[in-house]
Amino acid sequence: MKSVRRTRGTPPPDAFEAAPGLRNPHLQTVVGRIVRRRPEPRYDRVRLDTDDGDFIDLDLWRGPEDPAGTCLLLHGLEGSARSGYMVTTSEALAAAGIQAVALNFRSCSGEPNRLPRAYHSGQTDDIERALAWVGERYPGVPRAAVGFSLGGNALLNLLGRDRSDRGLRAAAVISVPYDLAASAAALDRGPSRLYGRRFLRSLRAKAREKAARFPDAVAPGAASARTLREFDDLLTAPLHGFRDAADYYERCSSGQFVGSVTIPALLLHSRDDPLAPAASIPVDMIRRQPNLSLQLTERGGHLGFLGRGSGTGPRGWLEQTIAEYISAALSAARTASNAEGAQVVL
């Protein structure tokens, strides 16, 4: 069986082959998290005030002084700019001459936010604010974005809901839960319950902190929720304007929006993903879009993709796949822009 299946679009790099001893999806998922850890990422922090009186924190990689492009990185559930995959991808992008800017979703930057609201899989206003800042900070430099898991779902919401490119020339999303209800169900049963429990420990701790500061905004039972769906019912949904978890999942699942994305985009997913079932990927919809390139590997777990002979960290298969795709797409965008400028001069 082939190790990768993809649709049309900018060709991705070499097909993925799991490293020896790491063919199990749970090993890929867990070991991937371990080997990508970095003690002290080379970030500089910028804080942006939001229109509602809160803030978001951006972490800028200390990369090239004159970047050929910029790339906004969006982390997954209960991650941050310091998550291993965010750091190693920032390193790989910097090596390709691209300035990486990592957005910490609200409550994830290491400092409690000023308001009760946090973040969720369909929230896009903070992403838009971050993209606007990047455009102002690096005028005339082509922009891209990369979203991991929940961050990828939010990015597809942003790009697909109203078919706008948001000033981006390319995007990549990895291990996206295209069907949020299916992903929540996967995290509540079988071996994947271990991941669900890990997420819940962090989420419940934040719920306790929010309940102490904003007792009128947080349901008392949120801090003792037994499943992710129950947590979304008690906190995520009411805090962000949804009727319940089912309403939240239905309105924010990116599978319904991906076919409306208009820019070149790489969609990377493993068939054995234990957190975001590959069965929820709208493959037929994606295949109809020439700008979308679906790279569907047989193995790789969730945000794992530890390949044979590809090293780890910024030299890993996942990081190089992302960096090469984004670099090629931004280079094509610069060429097209230069050609348009030359026609205008003539």
- Flag whether pLDDT at 340 surpasses 80: no
Q: Are 200 and 55 members of one domain?
A: no
Active site residue 302: yes
Query: Which of 273, 293, 310, 327 is labelled catalytic?
Result: 273
Which residues span the domain enclosing 194?
A: 181-252
**What is the total count of domains within the chain?**
2
Q: Which of 75, 120, 269, 302 is catalytic?
A: 302
Is 344 among the domain residues?
A: no
Q: What is the pTM of this model?
A: 0.93
Reported as a pLDDT band with limits 50, 70 and 90, residue 158 is very high
**38-64: pLDDT as tens digits:** 878 899 999 999 999 999 999 999 988
**222 shares its domain with 284:** no
Q: Are residues 39 and 125 in the same domain?
A: yes
Model pLDDT, residue 179: 98
Structure-token pair, residue 106: 């609200």
- Residue 226: which of 251, 262, 258, 201 has the closest Cα? 201
Which pLDDT band holds residue 287 (cuts at 50, 70, 90)?
A: very high
pLDDT category of residue 343 using cuts at 50, 70 and 90: low
Average pLDDT over residues 141-148: 98
| Domain assignment of residue 301, yes or no | yes
Q: Taking residues 142-162, what's their average pLDDT?
A: 97
9: tokens are 């679009």
Q: Identify whether 342 is part of a domain.
A: no
pLDDT category, 13, cuts 50, 70, 90? very low
What span, in angstroms and rounded, lies between the C-alpha atoms of 207 and 221?
A: 9
Query: Has residue 10 got a pLDDT over 70?
Result: no
* Beta strand pairing call for 4-5 and 55-61: unpaired
For residue 345, being part of any structural domain is answered with no
Within 198-327, strands assigned E span 265-270, 292-297
Instruction: Count Cβ atoms within 10 A of the Cβ of residue 189 and give its class: 0-12 exposed, 13-18 middle, 19 or more buried.
Output: exposed
**Position 220 in a domain:** yes
Contact 302, 275 (CB under 8 A): yes
**Under 8 Å CB-to-CB from 68, ≥6 apart: which residues?**
96, 97, 98, 141, 327, 330, 331, 334
Catalytic-labelled residue, pool 80, 83, 121, 149? 149
The kind and range of the H/E element at 71 are strand 69-74
CA-based nearest residue to 158, from 186, 190, 189, 126: 126
Question: 21: exposed, middle or buried (C-beta count within 10 Å: 0-12, 13-18, 19+)?
Answer: exposed
- Per DSSP, the three-state class of 172 is strand
Instruction: Name the token pair of 237.
Output: 């949904």
311 and 265 fall within a common domain:
yes
* pLDDT tens string 295-318: 999 999 999 999 987 777 788 999
Shared domain for 157 and 211, answered yes or no, is no
User: What confidence tier does 187 reach under pLDDT thresholds 50, 70, 90?
Assistant: very high
Q: Give domain status of residue 340, yes or no.
A: no
Is it the case that residue 8 has pLDDT exceeding 50? no
125 is catalytic: no
The answer to whether the CB of 318 falls within 8 A of the CB of 73 is no
Let me know if 149 is a catalytic residue: yes
